[in-house]
Chain A
Amino acid sequence: MHDLVQYITSYLDSDQTPGAAGNIFWALVYVLLVFVGLSIAVICMNWLERKILAHMQVRLGPMRVGPHGLLQPIADALKLLLKEDIIPAGADKIVFWIAPFIVVLAAFTVFVVVPFGPTHAITDMNIGVLFMLGVSSLAVLGIVTAGWASNSHYPLMGALRSSAQMVSYEVAMGLAVVSAIMMTSLSEQGGTLSMIGIVQSQQQQGIWFLFKFFPLGIIAFGIFAIAMVAETNRAPFDLPEAESELTAGFHTEYSGFRWSLFFLAEYSAMIAVSSIAVTLWLGGWLRPFPNLLNGPTWDLAFSLIPGLTFLFLAGMCFYNTARMPKHPLFRIQTIGLAGFGLVLGLIGLILFVPAVRVRVNDIFWFSAKVAGFMYLYIWYRGTFPRYRFDQLMKVGWKVLLPVGLTLLILTAVVGMRTELWAQMQEVLHR
């Protein structure tokens, strides 16, 4: 019994992730946490996307279920679970059944290596980035099989489009990633593919890779940012599910629970690729200006931000509670909103406890950066029309690929300029 406790507590002092420290108990806890957290994040995203999009489009969005539609995602989830699960007559039943699970599996497995903090990850893999790219590319298998198994024209066309799109944008994505990985080799501990190693390398070099070798880092990030939207089939690259052309693309024939799996997978894939971008270019869990604004005062100030954020959200809730119509019909909603604010405020207060504050700070900054990307996704959707298929391919192969290749060479040259210069001197002197 004592051994067990020691086994469990030994991790808490470790400076490694549970997977790397070989602590299976904590690894499982983290798996659970990540899974639950991801599901909650997807639910929040569902609500936020509808609300933000609605406010961009001068309307209110969901308002009926719960205060400000806060319970709408739960109602949606319930509806989807209770809906009849239709399998078309001509469909290949087994494949039709498996396909959504492949997509979900691919989207969720990626989070094994996502570093929410130096010790907050399920595991730290030697080949973290490679693993992430590889596993997220498996989603295309699910999409292709879903389209094929539906035995219908529109899904098949959606699946073919989608696979072509994802395969071609993976190339540009890979090139951008490689240029970031090349930047890691400039730090003292040498180059690395590990997600945690990449962030540590940014910390050690004292610069986010976004600003490294200006403007090379920013261009690489731009390529990745475009490719990741295409990779997740979101607007303006949402051709596979182009509503006006292919009704719903590869998941036209899906309904109910299986459809909700696709939905879940889409949003977790969005979070996953955003996490890659955050890790590679935006300093992962590092707070803003860790080198410029250092010292205990700044550390304290920045570590208070998570709690303050939650208190601000709680304040918003209370403000809206006060603005609720004073009518018996709205009583439950008012109480609900106040309760929600109370929960948020409590979380905020807990985040001020020093022990929690220190541990959660990393996760907060990482999530905040990812949330920024999520907002970007919604913003794109509200603003852009949709690309046509050939134009999409043109952007992928004729713009992003050459730019990525040039960038790769330039990054290598700039990164090795001292060595190259030395060699040139040697040649000249000879």
Chain B
Amino acid sequence: MTDPKTLSPLDLETPDKTFLDANELVINMGPQHPATHGVLRVILRLDGEKVLGLECVIGYLHRGVEKIAENRTYTMFNPYVDRMDYVAAVSNGLGYCEAVEKLLSVEAPPRAQYIRVILTELNRIASHQLWLGTHALDIGAITPLFYTFRDREEILKIFEKYCGARLTTHAFRIGGLQYEAYEGFEKDVKNFVSFVRPKIDEYEELLTTNRIWLERTKGVGVISGKDCIALGVTGPVLRASGVKWDIRKAQPYANYKNFDFEIPTGENGDTYDRYLVRMVEMRQSLRIIEQAVEGIPEGPIMAKVPKVMKPPMGEVYHSIEAPKGELGYFIVSDGSTQPYRLRVRPPSFVNLQALDVMCRGQLVADVIAVIGTLDIVLGEVDR
């Protein structure tokens, strides 16, 4: 797990003698720790409070999602993907459905695509809100958490009204949607947009110019764009480092090319920039939602998809821009009803690799901030 080029493996055998004579202190953070966002275990090698290096130990939440896929039909596997990034279940579903659609060479009808975009972007806002709340909580500001959860509730209500579930929605079907948008869906979404816009200002009011917040986040966990690309880091983390890479623009899927939105980028690649990027992303998502709601076409919501799906032999890789970064599905089909192999490229897992680079030379308290800013979900890291 440790990259030998950058870090010699941690010596966990020799016990640390004292704070003083030993230059290094090895401390174990997690898997039961309030700030590791789940069951992440981080082994820190410290000099006093300075981090010399760290190693992530993962797998405490491993459920073998990819293996399960090999024993399920394409349709049956669909709900499983919701359980990976449970914070952004809709995005996961979108990625999977589109990947299978690509394999089947079908395309969802326009109306389905529009509703998909609305739900996915709503989900992106929900995910970012949850991130903001927990991240601020890690840095010690307890109030934003309650604000974001209050507003996230509105999104979850829309999900619940649409498909009956709040968290693991299973909103999409291969080839389109199972449910037609309910009566008043558009009105709800419009209401939500006008409701949440001032709320985002409210979060920013609490944090953006807060001196302590600035001191805690500026210059913390800096990572350059080059390093990001080398490590495969994607999503807001990459964009905050100044690389303008968003799959919605770079390889448009699901109708995104019809919408007018901007990709925010940062300059310094520090925690504060990542915060700003995500805040702007929320606003951009609102913009997309507004356009999508205005332009929902009438028409069918399901493409013609066979009842028993037997995709032709072959393989397909399809990636989407999930809230946390590039979420890719690589599916190998042997022509049967079940995938021969399904591999997920989860953004959290890849982004977590950057933790070591970002934390070197920082203090213990910064590790917390950096874990928060990476926005990992352990369900997705461990799968």
Q: Which residues of A pack against B, CB within 8 Å?
A: 53, 56-59, 153, 160, 235-236, 238-239, 242-245, 247, 381-391
B363 touches A236 (CB 8 A): no
The residues of B that contact A243 with a CB separation of less than 8 Å are 34-35
A153 touches B365 (CB 8 A): no
B190 in contact (CB, < 8 A): no
The residues of B that contact A239 with a CB separation of less than 8 Å are 365
The residues of A that contact B150 with a CB separation of less than 8 Å are 58
Task: Scan B200-219; emit 1 where CB is below 8 A from any A CB, else 0.
Answer: 00000011001011011000
The residues of B that contact A385 with a CB separation of less than 8 Å are 136, 139-141, 207, 210, 212-213, 216
B368 in contact (CB, < 8 A): yes
B141 touches A383 (CB 8 A): yes
A384 touches B147 (CB 8 A): no
A58 touches B146 (CB 8 A): yes
B365 touches A388 (CB 8 A): yes
The residues of B that contact A391 with a CB separation of less than 8 Å are 215-216
8 A Cβ contacts from B78-116 to A: none
B303 in contact (CB, < 8 A): no
A57 touches B216 (CB 8 A): no
Closest to B32 in A: A247
Known: A243-B34, A387-B140. 15 other contacts (CB 8 A): A56-B143, A57-B146, A58-B146, A160-B19, A235-B140, A236-B212, A385-B139, A385-B212, A386-B212, A386-B216, A387-B212, A388-B365, A390-B49, A390-B363, A391-B216
A-B contact pairs, 22 of them (CB 8 A): A53-B142, A58-B146, A58-B147, A239-B365, A242-B140, A242-B365, A244-B138, A244-B368, A247-B34, A381-B142, A382-B143, A383-B141, A383-B143, A383-B210, A385-B141, A386-B139, A386-B212, A387-B215, A387-B216, A388-B365, A389-B365, A391-B216
A56 CB to closest chain B CB, in angstroms?
6
B165 in contact (CB, < 8 A): no
The residues of A that contact B365 with a CB separation of less than 8 Å are 239, 242, 245, 386, 388-389
Given contacts A384-B212, A385-B213, A391-B215, whether A244 and B364 have CB atoms under 8 Å apart is no
B368 CB to closest chain A CB, in angstroms?
5
Q: Which 4 A-B pairs have the closest CB atoms?
A: A386-B140, A244-B35, A57-B146, A385-B141
B146 touches A384 (CB 8 A): no
Given contacts A235-B140, A244-B35, A247-B33, whether A388 and B146 have CB atoms under 8 Å apart is no
Closest to A239 in B: B365
Given contacts A236-B140, A381-B142, A382-B143, whether A245 and B212 have CB atoms under 8 Å apart is no
The residues of A that contact B216 with a CB separation of less than 8 Å are 385-388, 391
Q: How far is the CA of A57 from the CA of B151 in the complex (A)?
A: 12
Residue from B49, B140, B141, B146 in contact with A59 in the complex, judged by beta carbons closer than 8 Å: B146
Given contacts A57-B142, A381-B142, A383-B206, whether A244 and B212 have CB atoms under 8 Å apart is no
Closest to B206 in A: A383
Residue from B34, B49, B215, B363 in contact with A244 in the complex, judged by beta carbons closer than 8 Å: B34
Closest to A384 in B: B212
The residues of B that contact A245 with a CB separation of less than 8 Å are 35, 364-365, 368
Closest to A235 in B: B140
B137 touches A244 (CB 8 A): yes
A287 CB to closest chain B CB, in angstroms?
34
B263 in contact (CB, < 8 A): no
B24 in contact (CB, < 8 A): no
Q: How far is the CA of A390 from the CA of B51 in the complex (A)?
A: 14
B366 in contact (CB, < 8 A): yes
Task: Scan B208-250; emit 1 where CB is below 8 A from any A CB, else 0.
Answer: 0010110110000000000000000000000000000000000
A188 CB to closest chain B CB, in angstroms?
43
The residues of B that contact A235 with a CB separation of less than 8 Å are 140
Q: How far is the CA of A53 from the CA of B138 in the complex (A)?
A: 18
B61 in contact (CB, < 8 A): no
A238 CB to closest chain B CB, in angstroms?
7
The residues of A that contact B364 with a CB separation of less than 8 Å are 245
Q: How far is the CA of A153 from the CA of B16 in the complex (A)?
A: 11
Closest to B213 in A: A385
Closest to A391 in B: B215
Closest to B29 in A: A245
Q: How far is the CA of A245 from the CA of B213 in the complex (A)?
A: 16
Q: How far is the CA of A391 from the CA of B220 in the complex (A)?
A: 13
8 A Cβ contacts from B139-192 to A: 139-143, 145-147, 150
B22 in contact (CB, < 8 A): no
The residues of B that contact A244 with a CB separation of less than 8 Å are 34-35, 137-140, 368
Closest to B36 in A: A244
The residues of A that contact B139 with a CB separation of less than 8 Å are 244, 385-386
B363 touches A384 (CB 8 A): no
B27 in contact (CB, < 8 A): yes
8 A Cβ contacts from B322-345 to A: none
The residues of A that contact B213 with a CB separation of less than 8 Å are 385
Q: How far is the CA of A383 from the CA of B147 in the complex (A)?
A: 12
Q: How far is the CA of A371 from the CA of B34 in the complex (A)?
A: 32
B177 CB to closest chain A CB, in angstroms?
34
B279 CB to closest chain A CB, in angstroms?
16
A227 CB to closest chain B CB, in angstroms?
16
The residues of A that contact B145 with a CB separation of less than 8 Å are 57
Closest to B139 in A: A385
A160 CB to closest chain B CB, in angstroms?
8
Q: How far is the CA of A244 from the CA of B136 in the complex (A)?
A: 10
Q: How far is the CA of A420 from the CA of B265 in the complex (A)?
A: 60
A176 CB to closest chain B CB, in angstroms?
21
Closest to A246 in B: B364
B111 CB to closest chain A CB, in angstroms?
37
The residues of B that contact A384 with a CB separation of less than 8 Å are 140-141, 210, 212
Q: How far is the CA of A243 from the CA of B206 in the complex (A)?
A: 20
Closest to A54 in B: B146
Given contacts A236-B212, A245-B35, whether A388 and B363 have CB atoms under 8 Å apart is yes
Q: How far is the CA of A153 from the CA of B150 in the complex (A)?
A: 36
